[in-house]
Amino acid sequence: MIIILNNKCNLSKEEFIEYQETLKTIKSPYKMVLAPTFLNINLFDLENFNLASQNISAFNEGAHTGEISGKDLKKSNVTYSLIGHSERRKDQRETNRDIQEKIKRALENDIIPVLCIGETKSGRQSNRIEEVIKKDIIEATCNLTEEEIKKIIIAYEPIWSIGTGLIPKNKDIEKVNKLIKKILPNNTIIYGGSANEENIDLLKKCSSIEGYLLGGLSLHPDKLQKFINKI
């Protein structure tokens, strides 16, 4: 089981320092990973967490203003990177082609890619979940070797569930995870989208979930501890 905290665009330097003090007290038998903002990455100072970035550049160096390379992330002790989060696909118009390049840069720098995929509300309503999931996986991994693909963690995050308080029915999560396993039998699959200390009682009954990606809950260490205890 792996639990990844995605701070998104939250926590100033001062707030992050205080936040880390609370995270130090988190007790978990599971692998814990923290994805702070880029500015907070070099303030990371936790022995009970691994470090992740929320994004990685498709370039290793050069004339790419505003980019942060896998090479530099590695030097700052980053060992995981979120790639293709739906907020980046939407806000930065990231395509599966960009995402594939980012996965390659992560792997070249010995960073574990956490590939985020999931359907929109309209995708769900029009019964296109299978199509979207397959497309996102195939287009993001088509030029990678089997060995490389195995290293990717898949985060299934239904977009309509992120930050909304809504979660899919367990049987729907199981169905999607089964499809993912059919395409990628050796990859770890985690769930993301409004997971919290209350609905974990339900979510934990999904045997196909091997971890969680937590946005909102990442900002509430007390609730996070409850969440972990309930798993």
CA–CA distance, 119 with 97 (Å, rounded to integer): 18
The answer to whether the CB of 77 falls within 8 A of the CB of 33 is: no
Report the site for ligand PGA in 114-133 (rule: CB under 6 A). Answer: none
**Residue number of the CB atom closest to ligand PGA:** 215
At 82, list the tokens. Answer: 């979120």
Q: How far is the CB of 156 from ligand PGA (least distance, A)?
A: 11
Q: How far is the CB of 1 from ligand PGA (least distance, A)?
A: 17
C-alpha distance from residue 103 to each of 68, 84, 98, 165 (Å): 14, 9, 9, 29
In the complex with ligand PGA, the residue whose CB is nearer, 137 or 214, is 214
Pick one of 2, 3, 5, 6: the residue that binds ligand PGA (CB under 6 A).
Answer: 6
First to last CA, the chain: 10
| Site string (162-201) toward ligand PGA, x via CB under 6 A | xx----------------------------xxxx------
The SS3 assignment for 37 reads: coil
CA–CA distance, 178 with 223 (Å, rounded to integer): 30
Name the one range near ligand PGA by CB under 6 A: 69-77, 123-131, 178-186, 212-220: 212-220
Catalytic residue among 87, 101, 119, 157: 157
The answer to whether the CB of 82 falls within 8 A of the CB of 54 is: yes
Q: How far is the CB of 61 from ligand PGA (least distance, A)?
A: 28
CA–CA distance, 48 with 217 (Å, rounded to integer): 18
| Site string (146-165) toward ligand PGA, x via CB under 6 A | -----------x----xx--
Catalytic positions are 85, 157
